[in-house]
Structures are given as C-alpha cells and as structure tokens.
Structure 1
C-alpha cells in the first residue's frame, strides 16, 4: 500500500480517512496542522475523520481484533476491506497512469521543440539555397549576355578579317 498523497510505500502505521483514502502519518499530520483537505478528493478532514491503522498487523493483533465478532460482521468487514484495497489499487494505477501521461506529454513537447527547431533550420537552409539559385540564374543570364556579345564581336572580327584577307589577296595580285 502507498500513501495517497506522497505515494511512498507505507510501512507500520498509516491513517485512514472517512473519505476512503490512506495517508502516511507525516501527510496526515500536515493536513491536521493546516486544517487542510484530503489531497485526493478535497474533503475537509479533522482528527475525528481520520483513524490510525496498522498496515501489516501481526497475528496477535488480528486475533484480538476479531475475537467475539459474528461471521456476518466478519464477512461484511472482509468485503469492505477488499473494496478498500481495490480502491487503493485503482488510485495507485491512476497515479502511475498520470505520471506516464505526464512523461509522454513532456517527451512530446520536447520532440515538438526539436521538430520545430529542425524545421526552422531546414527553412533557413532552403531560403539560402533559393537565394543562391537566384544568384546563379542571374550569373547565367549575365554570362549568356557576355557570350552573345563575344559571339557578335567574334563574328564582326571574322568579317573584318575576311575583308582584310580579300584586300590582301587583291593587293598581292596587283603587284
């Protein structure tokens, strides 16, 4: 059994509340000293609504407690004890599930942060690549213009050379 407030394993004595919860003596004293409520169901608790119990009573205590009690009352008591025990197990399972859910949420948030960070890095890299591509396209356009000018200049020089060659050939014939 565990304390329904701090969830430490209970040993020796504990305190049972009329609202059906089990507390370690430290947490029960905190509640009594602060006029507080049950940490599970918020029922206002007083000393009269809290009873000390033995977690693992010895056989002598069990024999003394059960002496002279009719079988009907023993069965009723056993039924209530089993139901209390089941309720405690359900609370413990709920506590564990809440912890697991909290851990999963924390992991999901962490993964979401990492995902967002990576997405931002990819977006930044994409923008850099897009800028680089744009600059390369401008450079290609500029080089294409330069190539066209060079081709035009080359064509003009080739035409001028042909004219000079023709003039040279005519001058050579005239001599």
Structure 2
C-alpha cells in the first residue's frame, strides 16, 4: 500500500480516514496541523476521523474466532473494497504521471516541428528570392542580347 498524499510505500503504521484514504503518519500530522482537508477529496478531517492502522498485522491480531460468518463476510467485503479503491487511486496517480510525461514530450516535439517548419519556410523564401533574381538576370541578358 502507498500513502495517498505522497505515494511513498507504507511501512508499519498508517492512518485511515473516514473518506476512505490511507496516509502515512507524516502526511496525516501535516494535514491536522494545517487546514485539516483530505489531499484527495478535500473532506474536512479531524483527529477523530482518522484511525491508525497496522499495514502488516500479525497472526494474533487476525484472530476472529467465534465471529458470525455474516460479520466476517461484511468485514472481508469492506477490506476488499478498500484495497480495490487504494489500487484504483494508485493507478490514477500513475496514469496522471504518464499523461503529464506524454504531454511534455508532445509539446517538445511540437516545438521542434514548428522550428523545422520555420526553417523550411525561410529556405523557401530564400529560394523564391533567388528565383526572382535569376529571372531578372535572364530577362536582362535577353535584353542585352
């Protein structure tokens, strides 16, 4: 899992928000000390709306003996949906980065293309001027002859 604000790999503890986002402890502290808005969805957050989670729970923590299958399935469903939403956010982040890189490359290519077009246009104008001068010279030679 990755922090939804800085996209660093989460290790150990993380903070889960009620809006469904996962933050590293550093970014969660920054949010609480600044405006208290989620960096992903802008929902106003407070300490009570942010819960610490262990990103690597051990076997002891995972014990759920005696819990009804309905509650287990509901919990498993929520966990899977949270995991899917985290992966979706990560893919959006990566896609936005790729799109930005492609846009930057396209702008560079467009600039080079425009430069080449300008060079061709300048060469074309020079050739036109040279042709006019040669036609004038041919005309003058024809008159002299």
Q: Tell me how far apart the structure 1 counterparts of residues 89 and 143 of structure 2 sit (CA, whole Å).
A: 79
Q: TM-score, normalized by length of structure 1? A: 0.79
- Following TM superposition, by how much is the alpha carbon of 1:67 offset from its aligned partner in structure 2, in angstroms? 4.6
For 1:100, the equivalent position in structure 2 comes to 98
For 2:118, the equivalent position in structure 1 comes to 120
Give structure 1 regions of 4+ aligned residues with deviation exceeding 2 angstroms: 66-71
Instruction: Identify the match of residue 87 of structure 1 among 85, 94, 117.
Output: 85
For 2:9, the equivalent position in structure 1 comes to 9
Q: Tell me how far apart the structure 1 counterparts of residues 101 and 94 of structure 2 sit (CA, whole Å).
A: 10
Extract unaligned runs of 5+ from structure 2: none
- Following TM superposition, by how much is the alpha carbon of 1:35 offset from its aligned partner in structure 2, in angstroms? 2.6
5 Å-filtered alignment, 1:44-59, equals 44-59=44-59
**Alpha-carbon contact 1:4-1:21 (below 8 Å) kept:** yes
Extract unaligned runs of 5+ from structure 1: 148-175
In our comparison, the structure showing a higher alpha carbon Rg is 1
Aligned CA RMSD, in angstroms, stands at 1.1
Q: Tell me how far apart the structure 2 counterparts of residues 67 and 6 of structure 1 sit (CA, whole Å).
A: 37
Partner SS state of residue 119, structure 1: helix
Partner SS state of residue 60, structure 2: helix
Higher helix share: 1
**Alpha-carbon contact 1:35-1:46 (below 8 Å) kept:** no
Partner SS state of residue 11, structure 1: coil
- Following TM superposition, by how much is the alpha carbon of 1:71 offset from its aligned partner in structure 2, in angstroms? 2.4
Q: TM-score, normalized by length of structure 2? A: 0.95
Q: Tell me how far apart the structure 2 counterparts of residues 69 and 27 of structure 1 sit (CA, whole Å).
A: 35
Partner SS state of residue 14, structure 1: strand
5 Å-filtered alignment, 1:13-162, equals 13-63=13-63, 66-147=64-145
**Alpha-carbon contact 1:4-1:40 (below 8 Å) kept:** yes
Q: Tell me how far apart the structure 2 counterparts of residues 35 and 69 of structure 1 sit (CA, whole Å).
A: 40
Which string of whole-angstrom CA distances, capped at 9 and with x for unpartnered residues, describes residues 56-82 of structure 1?
11112222xx35433221211110000
Q: Tell me how far apart the structure 2 counterparts of residues 46 and 123 of structure 1 sit (CA, whole Å).
A: 62
